[in-house]
Chain A
Amino acid sequence: MDQPIRITAEPVDTYRCKFVLNTLVLPSALRRFTSAADAQGSPLAENIFAILGAGITEVVVSGNLVTVVKNNPAPWQEIGKTIGGAIRLAIAGAQPPIAPKLEAPPAAAEPVDDDVLYDRVAQLFDEQVNPMVARHGGRVDLIDVQEAVVMLRLGGGCQGCGMADVTLRQGIEAMLHQAIPEVKGIVDITDHAAGANPYFAAAKK
């Protein structure tokens, strides 16, 4: 890789942080890892799960974003650089940082079918969520559903908006939980720093 890898950490909250890279890690796809075993074969996720004492529970990779979830309340500032180093190490390696997703063998009794959930969430987004955010010039794209967790990306007026987190938690997440209780959570993979036309400015100060 010719250009130096730049990574910017954007903590969402105590337990979730997005790492924005200046290079694509996984073009046109999304992968979610929920354990070290799950990460086997994908060095980027393997490296992050291997960070001792970090309490990593989830790694989501999409485009130039790596979203990391942990159960340890320690500030992101303490392990952010370690995670950045783990990402750089994986990208510099000979092996692809993220392995292609293998088709899962048919399960005997799937408790939740992600494909069915995807269709239901997509319908909710199309019929209810997107008409609402469109009033502020916004858009919500459903990226994927994995193990009942919804991955979405905000666009237009929602990208970089100072109220994006309120929209996400008080609006979209609440609607999802009411309409589709099987949904276990949502992951926002938006690069908010790149939002060029947010409906509300990010902060006064």
Chain B
Amino acid sequence: MDLTVASERSSTFERAQPANLLTLDFGDPRGAAADVRRFARDHPIGGVVGVDDDTAVVAAAIAADLHLGVGNSESAALAARDKHVQRVTLAAAGVPVPRFSLHPLEEDAAGLAGRVAYPCVLKPLRLAASRGVIRADAQAEFVTARERLRRILEQPEVAKCGEWARQFLVEEFIPGPEVALEGLLVAGRLHVLALFDKPDPLDGPFFEETIYVTPSRLPLLEQGAVRQVAQDAVSALGLRDGPVHAELRVNERGPWLIELAARPIGGRCSAVMRFETREAGCGMREASLEELILRHALGLPLPSLERERRAAGVMMIPVPGAGVLREVRGVAEARAVPLVEEIAITAHPGQELVPWPEGFRYPGFIFARGETPAAVEAALRAAHGRLHFVLEPVRA
């Protein structure tokens, strides 16, 4: 299939290859859709796929503008994009979400700290990868956390993104193990592609991800309840088509919807999922998550939505500390750990590594596959234990 890649910043090849590359303003989804409508006069478009939170909204606007048939409404994509709109919509529909309140960044932190219930979580409305998400257990912690969040939201590249950067949510902290659900929506029906356990407790004060392992070891009854809450959530938001990534917590009161996004799992993590399918003339073959998403967007027949039988996992390698990366040692030794399939170091030498909550980039990923989730989890931990990141102090 012919592909056009749209980006916010222009490619140096755009003028030479105008059918292949396109620059759009992702901050203005309707403007972007109008630009694509003009583009499509010369280069017809069969489907559109967003790859992250911002472009999910742009893709929805484009799909609606071009009457593509497969896609979400812009309002549904926006409801998924903005955590406050999402909370309001889901709470109104009876989907279990944490209690929440919206506050302007200018609100007196000390006064607010005296009114909220603890433990609570301070959360920006749109930043990705849990950037800026901080737990507070007492008033003093709340004031410190709010100040830290304010500094993040006032960073120039964040502040310029819009009014949402002048507000934040305060949410009830929901205890319990967390799972991630990866799904594909087809005409409003949620097909669960994988349910991942997150075996490392995410109790804060910051919420950097580490290990995802599938299949889930939750009891089947609880898994069913998780699926139902996720289906209820996408229905309430009005999402109909495309990838969904949701994060839920499970405790004695049942599943709680913590986050839901109309996009696939982030970064390189999608590589952890493979789907087995039989194709005429080719026998059995494996399909990637991206293939499923593209086929669905183009209205092509979908292969099996059944994930492979084996357990699989990925570790988003935690930021080892603040500093400038010089080198990573032990990669070969980590790769030699049984069941480990790939070590992908995505940080480059000279890159500054920034820990959470200010940071939002993992320095790399570890992938493993095996017969049981426990074996996969152990392999990921063993491989991580063999990696050594050499950092230098950041020069002022």
Contacts and interface: CB of A to CB of B under 8 A. Distances in A.
A196 B352 CA distance: 11
Contacts of B3: 170
Interface stretch (A29-37, A52-60, A130-138, A182-190): A130-138
B107 to A, nearest CB: 29
B374 interface: no
Contact of A132 (B12, B129, B346, B360): B12
A25 to B, nearest CB: 16
Interface in B272-296: 274, 285-286, 288
Interface residues of A, number: 44
Interface residues of B, number: 43
A194 B286 CA distance: 31
Helix, strand, loop or mixed for chain A's interface?
A: mixed
B348 A198 contact: yes
Interface string B249-282: 0000000000000000011110000100000000
Nearest to A205: B267
B12 A135 contact: yes
Nearest to B308: A75
Contacts of A10: 344
A78 B310 CA distance: 13
Contact of B348 (A135, A170, A195): A195
A84 to B, nearest CB: 8
Nearest to A201: B361
B13 A8 contact: no
B129 A204 contact: yes
A66 to B, nearest CB: 15
Contacts of B5: 166, 170
A75 B346 contact: no
B16 A73 contact: no
Interface in B301-344: 316, 331-332, 335, 341-344
B17 interface: yes
11 contacts: A135-B12, A166-B7, A167-B12, A174-B17, A175-B16, A193-B348, A195-B348, A197-B350, A204-B266, A204-B267, A205-B266
